[in-house]
Amino acid sequence: MLIDVTEELQNKADASMQNILWNKRSIYKVPASVTALNRAAYRPQTVSIGPYHSYDDQLKPMEEHKHRALYYFLKRSGKSLELFLLSLNEVVQDLKDSYDQLDKSWNDDTGKFLQLMVLDGCFMLEIMRLAIQPSNDYAADDPVFSIHGRVYVAPFIRRDMLIVENQLPMLVLYKLVATESDGEKVYILLIELQNHGISCLYCSP
């Protein structure tokens, strides 16, 4: 037992190992000493993106809209959900390592983690595209993906997408767009991100 603990301490203290781990981290939790100053400023109010706030009951109503976005994303792409899951599975450890404090339940259940990445990633892409042009796929009175939603709901979603703890690795969006378009439209994603001023907030290894 003592030997195991000693080896674990040595591994944690190894400078090269620390550098490898720290270089992979890109999505952090804000220290409690900071959030205590203004909790609302550091917590999403409308939608959870990624694992950190996924269990927040206040944000559950938006899950229905996420699943609808996923449905239309898949329908438009003409590809199966399994294909997108397989694409992200190729880099799943990189995605997990992007999170500084990933809960054990997400680390241990790769299937659940991948489903979250696909669901939230497709939702983000649909919101980004909504900012450019509302899709004809959705009903005219859709609460989120209509002209009305674009004006009155989407701004609150985009605000939450800028919160430090409410992030996805950029690699998720790359892989989703590459799979959707057979690798032909990844550069368009970069332009959309840059135009909407959020590219600097979606770093990944």
pLDDT computed for residue 80 by the predictor: 97
Checking if the pLDDT of 189 tops 60, the result is: yes
Q: Answer whether residue 204 shows pLDDT above 50.
A: no
Residue 192 confidence (pLDDT): 66
Q: What is the CA radius of gyration of the chain?
A: 18
Instruction: Give whole-number Cα distances, 5 to 12, 15, 17, 134, in Å.
Output: 11, 18, 17, 56
Where do runs of H (alpha helix) occur along the chain? 2-13, 15-24, 32-35, 63-77, 81-89, 92-97, 104-108, 110-132, 147-152, 154-161, 170-180, 186-195
Q: What does the pLDDT look like over 169-185, one tens digit per residue?
A: 999 999 999 999 887 77
Span 55-59, average pLDDT = 96
pTM for this one? Answer: 0.84
What CA–CA distance (Å, rounded) separates 143 from 127? 12
Looking at residue 200, what is its pLDDT? Answer: 37
